[in-house]
A and B are shown apart, each in its own frame.
Chain A
Amino acid sequence: MLTYNKPTTVDEAVILLQQPQHAARALAGGTDLLVELRSGRLAAQGIVDLKRIPELRALRAEQDGFRIGAAVSGAELGEHATLKAMWPGVVEAANLIGSTQIQGRASLGGNLCNASPAADSVPALIAAGARCTVAGPGGRREVPVESIVTGPGKTSLVSGEFVVDFVLPAQAARGGDAYLRFIPRTEMDIAVVGVAVNLTLDAAGVCTTARVAVGAVAPTARLVDAAGAALVGTTVDETALNALMAAVRAACAPINDKRGTIEFRTHVAGVLAGRAAKIALDRARSRA
């Protein structure tokens, strides 16, 4: 019989989740977990609902950025005006997840830990340099978002561990981010390609830092160092954008399926990277 618990503290949740071979599963918005449960694929014996733990539901501006509880819904992120103003790319990516109804529940923690290669918020969080707090039997550790997912459906979290919150740094004064995805329809579909760009400019408009991350074109979302490097030291002109697109395409190792061939996904990743970089550039300039 499947158990259901709703701990109110992180420590309680760690104990409940500390079962052999992930016999207990964390529940945030349930938009992945309940689909799994209903299809009969859920092997767990227990569900641990994380939403009654205040830390997982808190969303607050801190001196050096934002702290976003792992179970905060996409709808709540979209309603947070200062977060949206500082990290529009992250919020847009989170808000692309599903429909209005899905937004009412879907969380960043669930999107990350479900470990789908196509999870929309993950490239945006990686590009933003987000870190997450992981709690577990060994206490707490803060790690970069890109260290969590190790392959489709697989994470580096051990038994008893879960994500408590995400820490987004403060965006630079002349910084901007953007996320774009390709789907065959206009709404309600899973990314065939997703690309996030986060860059900063100096007073002369020269790019000083850039982080580029791709989704759905490899077993996990990837930070593409060479793509960021292609922009640094440039004014993000056509030459730099061409170098960015080539670096992104070189980092793609997608699957071939009916939703997109390898060739198509690789090509589109480059195109979206160029477009996302232009949006991020405009945002960086208008914030300055």
Chain B
Amino acid sequence: MSKHHISTTINGEPVEFLCDTAQTLLDVLRDELGLTGSKEGCGSGDCGACSVLVEGRLVCACLVLAAEVDRCAVETIEGVAQGNALHPLQQVFLNEAALQCGICTPGIIVAAKALLEKNPDPDEEEIRFWLAGNLCRCTGYDKIVRAVQQAALVMRSA
């Protein structure tokens, strides 16, 4: 059987690619399109390192078939900064050292950005619940939660 021809929009740009049924969106982003910002931590929906938005919805790219995103809008970590201008979340994560190895960071930034667009002023509990599917083996989460709160503050006062 021939490959699927998929037309999609990634970070606002029209993109076309060919894929097999068994390829996930994460496989295609990383291996075919060179968008390696989304990470594969587990491949089974547990770690959130592959977090992306499909049609505005936060999902694990490792649990989406690439063939499913035909005519859908996909947003990845690569679309978060505007040119050289970092998103407030990215800037605060850097300033506050809310990362160590950084494997979880792209997924956490994508997920936190989706939260702040829905709720510009989440409390600590809301942040912890929203990010419960984003595992971090290094930081112990405290700095991450505080960075999200601080970025929220920056964004509210912008």
Chain A residues positioned under 8 Å from B46 (CB to CB) = 188
| A37–B22 touching, CB < 8 Å | yes
The CB with the most chain A CB atoms within 10 A, among B22, B114, B134, is that of: B22
Q: How far is the CB of A54 from chain B (nearest CB, A)?
A: 15
Chain B residues positioned under 8 Å from A38 (CB to CB) = 24, 43-44, 62
Known: A37-B22, A38-B43, A187-B129. A101 touches B65 (CB 8 A): no
Chain A residues positioned under 8 Å from B4 (CB to CB) = 4
| A75–B57 touching, CB < 8 Å | yes
Tell me, in angstroms, the Cα distance from A3 to B4 when the chains sit together: 10
Interface of B, secondary structure class, is mixed
Tell me, in angstroms, the Cα distance from A47 to B65 when the chains sit together: 10
Instruction: Give B24's nearest chain A residue, CB to CB.
Output: A34
| A1–B21 touching, CB < 8 Å | yes
Tell me, in angstroms, the Cα distance from A120 to B130 when the chains sit together: 19
Tell me, in angstroms, the Cα distance from A3 to B22 when the chains sit together: 9
Q: How far is the CB of A57 from chain B (nearest CB, A)?
A: 11
A216 at the interface (CB under 8 A from B): no
Chain A residues positioned under 8 Å from B111 (CB to CB) = 100-101
A169 at the interface (CB under 8 A from B): no
Tell me, in angstroms, the Cα distance from A51 to B21 when the chains sit together: 16
Tell me, in angstroms, the Cα distance from A105 to B45 when the chains sit together: 11
Q: How far is the CB of B15 from chain A (nearest CB, A)?
A: 19
Tell me, in angstroms, the Cα distance from A38 to B43 when the chains sit together: 8
Known: A51-B68, A187-B129. A35 touches B57 (CB 8 A): no
| B68–A101 touching, CB < 8 Å | no
A203 at the interface (CB under 8 A from B): no
Chain A residues positioned under 8 Å from B114 (CB to CB) = 100
Residue of B21, B44, B68, B131 near A3 (CB, 8 A) is: B21
B48 at the interface (CB under 8 A from A): yes
Number of interface residues of A (CB under 8 A): 28
Residue of B24, B59, B67 near A104 (CB, 8 A) is: B59
| A35–B45 touching, CB < 8 Å | yes
Residue of B21, B43, B51 near A4 (CB, 8 A) is: B21
B58 at the interface (CB under 8 A from A): yes
A73 at the interface (CB under 8 A from B): yes
| B21–A102 touching, CB < 8 Å | no
Known: A1-B1, A35-B45, A38-B43. A100 touches B63 (CB 8 A): no
| A34–B65 touching, CB < 8 Å | yes
Chain A residues positioned under 8 Å from B129 (CB to CB) = 100, 187
Instruction: Give A47's nearest chain B residue, CB to CB.
Output: B21
Chain B residues positioned under 8 Å from A204 (CB to CB) = none
| A4–B59 touching, CB < 8 Å | no
| B68–A49 touching, CB < 8 Å | yes
Interface residues in chain B, defined as those with a beta carbon under 8 Å from any beta carbon in chain A: 1, 4, 20-22, 24, 43-46, 48, 51, 54, 57-60, 62-65, 67-68, 70, 111, 114-115, 129-134
Q: List 19 A-B residue pairs with CB atoms under 8 Å apart, sorted by A's residue number.
A: A1-B20, A2-B21, A3-B21, A6-B68, A27-B65, A27-B68, A30-B65, A35-B44, A35-B63, A38-B43, A38-B44, A73-B57, A100-B111, A100-B131, A102-B60, A104-B54, A104-B59, A105-B60, A188-B133
Known: A2-B20, A35-B44. 7 other contacts (CB 8 A): A38-B62, A49-B65, A98-B45, A100-B58, A100-B129, A187-B129, A188-B46
